[in-house]
């Protein structure tokens, strides 16, 4: 009888039984390397997905923090505006003959001097050039007032 001749083109190895005599150590080692490579590949996919989720959540948190910071600044400015309005009305009612413009000029001067005091107390600032004099405070308040009027007229034109 002739023995059956042929070759093995592909072999599916599902598990390695270490007690079998015909499987050599090189096949076992190669099988372990294949399994390890598959697991490393899967782990890198999971790691990439985790990093993507982390970056997305971090960006969302930064956006939310900036939004809430903006809301806080807007509320702070609204409170300052409301307080100024109340102070102007109260001052103009208590002191006869004063207009809202005069009260605003007084508040601007107070703010100006508070700013200069804060700049002088700050140890971080070394040199700051600020025009100082009675006319300069009025110039600053006029510039602010003109800017506000131009902004409101630009909104009306749109």
Q: What is the pLDDT of residues 99-121, one digit of tens each?
A: 777 777 777 777 777 877 877 77
pLDDT digits (tens, 9 = 90+) for 135-157: 666 677 677 777 767 776 766 66
Residue 26 lies in a domain: no
Q: What is the mean pLDDT of the chain?
A: 78
Residue 109 lies in a domain: yes
Query: How many structural domains comprise the chain?
Result: 1
Residue 39 lies in a domain: no
Residues with Cβ within 8 Å of residue 105, at least 6 apart in sequence: 137, 138, 141
Model's pTM, two decimal places? 0.44
Residues with Cβ within 8 Å of residue 144, at least 6 apart in sequence: 108
Range of the domain at 133: 99-144
How far, in Å, CA of 107 to CA of 98, rounded? 13
pLDDT at 21 over 60: no
- In this predicted structure, what is the pLDDT of residue 81? 82
- In this predicted structure, what is the pLDDT of residue 94? 81
- Count CA atoms within 13 Å of residue 133 on its CB side: 4
């Amino acid at each position: 009888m002739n023995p059956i001749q042929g070759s093995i083109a592909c072999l599916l190895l599902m598990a390695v039984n270490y007690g079998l005599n015909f499987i050599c150590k090189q096949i076992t080692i190669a099988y372990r390397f294949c399994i390890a490579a598959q697991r490393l590949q899967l782990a890198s996919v999971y790691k990439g997905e985790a990093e993507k989720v982390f970056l997305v959540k971090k960006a969302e948190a930064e956006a939310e923090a900036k939004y809430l910071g903006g809301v806080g600044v807007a509320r702070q400015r609204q409170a300052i505006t409301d307080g100024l309005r109340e102070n102007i009305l109260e001052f103009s009612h208590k002191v006869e003959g004063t207009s809202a413009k005069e009260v605003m000029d007084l508040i601007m001067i107070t703010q100006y001097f508070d700013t200069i005091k804060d700049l002088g107390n700050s140890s971080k600032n070394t040199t700051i050039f600020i025009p100082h004099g009675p006319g300069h405070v009025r110039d600053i308040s006029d510039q602010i007032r003109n800017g506000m009027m131009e902004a409101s007229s630009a909104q009306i034109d749109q």
